[in-house]
Structure 1
Amino acid sequence: MKSLRQIIDRTLLITTILTGSFMVCSAKTTSSSGSIIHFSTIPNARDLGGIQTKNGQHIRRNRLIRSAALSRLTHHDQWLLTKQHRVTVILDFRSTGEIKRAPGLRKSGVRHIHLPIMKEPYFGVHTTSRYAKQLATKQPNFMEQFYQKLILDPHCIKGYRTMFHYLRIQKSGAILYHCTYGKDRTGVATMLILSSLGVPKATIMKNYLVSNRYLKKTTAKEYRRMKRYTHSKTVLRNLKRSKRASPAYLNAAYSAIDRHDGTMKHYLHHQMRLSSHDIQQLRKRYLTK
């Protein structure tokens, strides 16, 4: 009987140690990028829960999720979304053309809201040959210009403003927002959301750059496809520029905000129309006490 007790005690001790180690490892993954959601077919899906604000609070888990497009989801993926992460609202930033080409999740109990950030109805939809022609004429700083447009264009502003409306009324469950790759339109959305919640710029930048890790395979696949079509150095160089997350891109968005409104606080107030009460409400909804 004594040896049995010793075995049980050792088992409990080992379990405690292993569990503690797992919790420590999990906590490390939420420092700036949140925690990755391991879908079968969808890259770059992350729960922002665990990200720390300037005053030491953290974003609640299963409340804010950023992602790439939710097409081709398996039954297990759908279970992860609706049951484990409790997603009840999806904001789809893609154009009408992008959605027609790759329809997103339509599931009972989940509200799908089409919120196109770009005005062009077929933005992001093109054949390889057409895309190559577009890339051949791009200037080296075209991505910086695109990020500035996301910040300054009236249609883009209206889209992100509407996003905050849904964030303010989301009392429970998770709200998931996405574009095609979860990098550019979603990256700027995340910058604005995290800024409103009081997350430092350095953390926001780290969160943004993590897309490079999770989109690595997707980017390599698209590069190989384009290289089979053309060996133009300009086209391939600009393709790489368009598919990566770069500090210069997000900094271009910050610079546009500084030039147009002076500070992020003023931009959120004047362009996103968030009052001090709205900011307090957002922080109450999405941050730990």
Structure 2
Amino acid sequence: MTTPDADQVDEGSELVRLASADNFRDVAGDGYLTGAGVALRTGVLFRSNELQLSDADAHRIASLGVVDVFDLRGADEIEAHPDIDVPGATWHHVEVAGIPMLRVAELASREEAEQVMRAVYRAFVEAPGARAAYGELLRRIADADGAQLFHCTAGKDRTGWASVLLLRLAGVPEQTVREDYLETNAHAGTREKYVAMIREHLGEEKVPVYEAVMLADLDYVAAADAAVVEMFGDLDTYVREGLGVDDATRARVVARLLP
């Protein structure tokens, strides 16, 4: 996968890096290939961390034709760090429960942190509210007319699972899906900001504990996948019965990502 420099824009594939949203990127990457060798359409779906945008970056997103912004964060997160408006885009709240920070504050070891994260990912599949939110997101994507953006706080977990689902539905090979999910770890601005806060307020010894919460880890995706198998048997049934996305809607989602 290509990772452009901070100021580089590939106008053909719309690869864009934003200074004020370090994990903003195209869901389709630079045109990921499906298993059949078809390149995904870029410039249709974007993902990000929280939109604490500079004016220039807000207008850069608007220039990509984004008409919908889906905020997956909880109400407390939104109140603390409300999105900066993207000109021409409609903001939607589609809440998925994220990392329980009160629980995280009590963690004493990296192992405990990893256990919490696996539980968070299982909840993406097991919790009715999360299933309803992801189903709503897919239905809105299916029926959209214009580019769309979805995000959470770090653009890592709730956003990461949504991107995993979209790429899998589009038929992208699993190796590419995994590489795309892990790419979050290469965009470290947000993580470094919070690590610095932890170091300052909680001490150096807490940094390794919290790093497990701040990194994308394939073990976490595996926990969600295990929940899919246990509850629904396979991805197709999870999408149809768990998310309430029928086959026709699913086909429209995939059609938006394919040429």
Whether TM-score is above 0.5 comes out as: yes
Q: Which runs of 5+ in 2 are unaligned?
A: 5-12
Distance in 2 between residues matched to 1:236 and 1:180, nearest whole Å? 19
1:219-230 map, 5 Å? 219-230=191-202
Q: Structure 2 vs 1, CA of residues 139 and 101 (structure 1 numbering), >3 Å: closer, same or farther? A: closer
Q: Which has the larger radius of gyration?
A: 1
Q: Provide Cα deviations, 1:33-52, integer angstroms capped at 9, x if missing partner.
A: x8752212111111123122
Aligned twin of 2:7: none
Q: Provide Cα deviations, 1:101-132, integer angstroms capped at 9, x if missing partner.
A: 111132442110011112xxxx6696xxx677
Distance in 2 between residues matched to 1:284 and 1:217, nearest whole Å? 33
1:250 aligned partner, one-letter code:
V
Aligned twin of 1:204: 177
TM-score by length of 2: 0.86
Distance in 2 between residues matched to 1:156 and 1:267, nearest whole Å? 12
User: What's the secondary structure of 1:78's corresponding residue?
Assistant: helix
Distance in 1 between residues matched to 2:56 and 2:228, nearest whole Å? 41
Aligned twin of 2:8: none
Q: Provide Cα deviations, 1:189-234, integer angstroms capped at 9, x if missing partner.
A: 11111122222222111110000001x233233223212233474x
Contact kept in structure 1, 2:99 and 2:120, CA below 8 Å: no
Aligned length: 247
Distance in 1 between residues matched to 2:256 and 2:231, nearest whole Å? 29
TM-score by length of 1: 0.78
Contact kept in structure 2, 1:66 and 1:176, CA below 8 Å: yes
Candidates 174, 182, 191, aligned match of 2:147: 174
The answer on 1:185 being equivalent to 2:163 is no
Candidates 136, 142, 155, aligned match of 2:108: 136
Distance in 1 between residues matched to 2:85 and 2:240, nearest whole Å? 34
1:188 aligned partner, one-letter code:
W
**% same residue:** 24
Distance in 1 between residues matched to 2:194 and 2:257, nearest whole Å? 36
Distance in 2 between residues matched to 1:178 and 1:63, nearest whole Å? 15
Q: Structure 2 vs 1, CA of residues 92 and 25 (structure 1 numbering), >3 Å: closer, same or farther? A: closer
Aligned twin of 1:281: 252
Q: Structure 2 vs 1, CA of residues 211 and 192 (structure 1 numbering), >3 Å: closer, same or farther? A: same
Q: Which runs of 5+ in 1 are unaligned?
A: 1-23, 27-33
Candidates 84, 95, 100, aligned match of 1:116: 95
User: What's the secondary structure of 1:98's corresponding residue?
Assistant: helix
2:71 aligned partner, one-letter code:
D
Distance in 2 between residues matched to 1:240 and 1:107, nearest whole Å? 31
